[in-house]
Chains A and B, each alone.
Chain A
Amino acid sequence: MATAEDAGERTRRTRLIKGPGMLLVWLYGVMVVGAVSRSAVQISTEFAHAPLAYSLSAVAGLVYGFITYSLVRGGETARKAALVCCAAELLGVLVVGTWTLVEPSAFPDATVWSDYGMGYLFIPVLLPLSAMYWLRKGSR
């Protein structure tokens, strides 16, 4: 039984959504829906009000979407791609978070990454950290 499973495991792609990975997919899924729908509404209705903030939310949504897709797809390439995106995401949260604090005038309205994601229970900061931890562990 165990050997048959092992053989199957080797031919298939590395599953990234077992165990804690499932929770990550769920949280990333929530962030995708949140960021994409939010920016879609804002860009289509009031883009001129805060173009920078809304564009950044849209970018965040795309990054989240790609990471979610990579996690679900699985495999070594996807794992590496997701790892890179998580690093980019973390960098984005930190840069945009600092930016919103230093120069609030550039942001008449909030982005997903404003104040390090405070409006989203700091999930935007915590998520890439836990995801990177999980993805690095998956390599062993």
Chain B
Amino acid sequence: MLDALTVATAIAALLLAAWCGWAAYRDQPTKDWHFIGMAVVSVLALAQLAVGVVQLARGQKPDQGTTIFVAYLLGALACVPVAGFMSLAERTRWGSVTVAAGGVVLAVLQVRLYDIWGG
């Protein structure tokens, strides 16, 4: 797996979490800029899925199994967009908290992805 991309995605996810956490702290819902941020993070997760699939296609094998690896890649891709839609339905600070939680979950998924691929 591309380590640089994994690290970049994890950091971007944590930044997004901090940013939306700040919005929640100031009692604000998610705004357009937050959604742009979510889009950036989601694009990183999408790039990761693409890189992961290409590497599998080249015949490389993740340490802990292909099924789990692909499942985590899909989970990582879905994570932030789902939280984003939920924040659209909840136009209060709690929507921002939800997206912040989504960012943290994505960062954790990155650590797991790194382990699953095998360092």
Nearest Cβ in chain B — how far from A18, in angstroms? 7
Which of B82, B86, B92 is within 8 Å of A19, CB to CB?
B92
How many A-B residue contacts, CB cutoff 8 Å?
40
Residues 66-101 of chain B: 1 if any A CB is under 8 Å from the residue's CB, otherwise 0? 011001000100000011001101101011011001
Residues of B within 8 A of A26 (CB): 82-83, 86, 98, 101-102
Interface contact A41-B68, CB-CB below 8 Å? yes
Residues of A within 8 A of B105 (CB): 30
Interface contact A23-B94, CB-CB below 8 Å? yes
Number of B residues whose C-beta is below 8 Å from A? Answer: 20
Interface contact B68-A19, CB-CB below 8 Å? no
Q: What are 23 of the A-B contact pairs (CB < 8 Å)? A: A18-B90, A19-B90, A19-B92, A20-B94, A21-B94, A22-B86, A22-B87, A22-B89, A22-B90, A22-B94, A23-B94, A23-B97, A23-B98, A23-B101, A26-B82, A26-B86, A26-B102, A27-B101, A37-B75, A41-B65, A41-B67, A45-B67, A121-B108
